[in-house]
Amino acid sequence: MRFLLTDEQREFGRSLDALLTAADTPAVLRAWAAGDHGPGRALWGRLADAGVFALAVPEAYGGVGPLPVEAAVACVELGRHAVPGPVAETLASGVLLAGAGGPVAEEWLPGIASGAAMVSLTLEGYGPYAPDADAADAVFTVSGDELRLAPDPGEPSASADPARRLFRPEPGGAPVAKGPAIRAAARAAGDWAAFATAALALGCGEELLRATVAYVKQRTQFGVPVGSFQAVKHRLADTLLGLEFARPLLYGAAVELASEVSRPGAGAGSAEGSPGAGAAVAAAKVTAGEAGYAAARTALQLHGAIGYTEELDLAWWLRRARPLRDAWGTPSACRARVLAG
């Protein structure tokens, strides 16, 4: 398959890059980690105005989606700039609630599309934790064929990324939807959450590589830039190859997800997560996650002792790479799904 983004999709990515470059995301990340969600919510609103969260919401509910390719473009940029908040979870909730339909979709989907609602969720098979549940306007949980609204975000758990806090939602809460459609919607939402997380991981790895290349050009040893050393060049080349191999898998998964929506008889929110699409998403997730984590290890080693400091803005990307690798499908789980598919 020869896949190229359209001019409009590229321009969409460039516009998001310009928006986020001007937003000073390291300052937003520091505030978010300290419990001040104001700057992050303001940035969330600007991203919503750019159409990011409408990409997973059907037109019937005020969105423009589901558009997986455009969502991949957006999430790579958000990962490159380390935007805080439950990005993957909110996008996946758009798919989940569209599949559930009824009053819960009518109540929450317009807010998700407009940016007024920030949502986190947990799904069976992906662990009990809801990222950034304390900042979310709602936390949805799925158990069997029941969709529930968690009564409380619960207590925080340890997280390697202080700007991506994990919560175990309190059990209970009245079901807001139930039936066989919930299981199918949850499978599709799980694929979207893994897919968006793969794109975030790829963007995170790209920024880690960019910053590391810039640093080794400036740092000198024995009177020459350390970037001129053969071992450093090889390490950076391996990192670049890992990221570049992940990119076509990510967009291949986007094409598979798009074909699920457009297949005959499928509605805007009815994609059920077929084995083919699920395997494509899993392949993208494991490859992008491992590539992003490898980029973090390269960045840490080549930055030397400075890589461990809190003052270095890049530390926020370093801390984010491993949680993104393991969220919504660990490498072993993704590999098993690829084999099964």
| pTM exceeds cut of 0.85 | yes
Report d(CA 196, CA 190) in Å as an integer.
10
The pLDDT value given to residue 262: 58
The pLDDT value given to residue 271: 46
Question: pLDDT tens track of the chain, all 341 residues?
Answer: 556 899 999 999 999 999 999 999 999 999 999 999 999 999 999 999 999 999 999 999 999 999 999 999 999 999 999 999 999 999 999 999 999 999 999 999 999 999 999 999 999 999 999 999 999 999 999 999 999 999 999 889 989 999 999 999 988 888 999 999 999 999 999 999 999 999 999 999 999 999 999 999 999 889 999 999 999 999 999 999 999 999 999 999 999 999 876 554 454 444 455 667 999 999 999 999 999 999 999 999 999 878 778 788 999 999 999 999 999 999 999 999 999 98
The pLDDT value given to residue 269: 46
Burial 96-113 (b: 16+ CB within 10 A, else e): bbbbbbeebbeebbbbbb
Report d(CA 133, CA 290) in Å as an integer.
26
The pLDDT value given to residue 173: 85
Taking the CA atoms of residue 325, residue 327, residue 328 and residue 330 in that order, the dihedral angle to the nearest 10 degrees is 50
Any idea what the Cα angle at residue 288 is, between residues 100 and 248, rounded to 5°? 90
Helix, strand, or coil here: 314? Answer: coil
Report d(CA 245, CA 68) in Å as an integer.
19
Long-range contacts of 263-267 (CB under 8 A, 24+ apart): none
Rg (CA), the chain: 19
Cis peptide before 151 (omega within 30 of 0): no
Q: Look at the block and give the residue holding tokens 């690829």.
A: 338
The pLDDT value given to residue 27: 96
DSSP assignments along 111-180, one per residue: HHHHTS--EEEE-TTS-S-EETTTT-SEEEEEETTEEEE-S----EE--SSTTS-EE-PPS---EEEESH
Tokens of residue 181, six digits: 């459609």
Burial 30-62 (b: 16+ CB within 10 A, else e): bbbbeeebebbbebbeebbebbbbbbbbbeebe
- Picking from 287, 286, 283, the residue whose alpha carbon sits closest to that of residue 253 is 283
The set of residues, in sequence order, having a beta carbon less than 8 Å from that of 126 and lying 6+ positions away, is: 190, 193, 328, 329
Report d(CA 121, CA 119) in Å as an integer.
7
The pLDDT value given to residue 1: 52
The pLDDT value given to residue 2: 58
For 39, list phi and psi in degrees, rounded to 5.
Answer: -60, -35
- Provide the 8-state DSSP code for 225: E
For 332, list phi and psi in degrees, rounded to 5.
Answer: -65, -40
One-letter amino acid of 292:
G
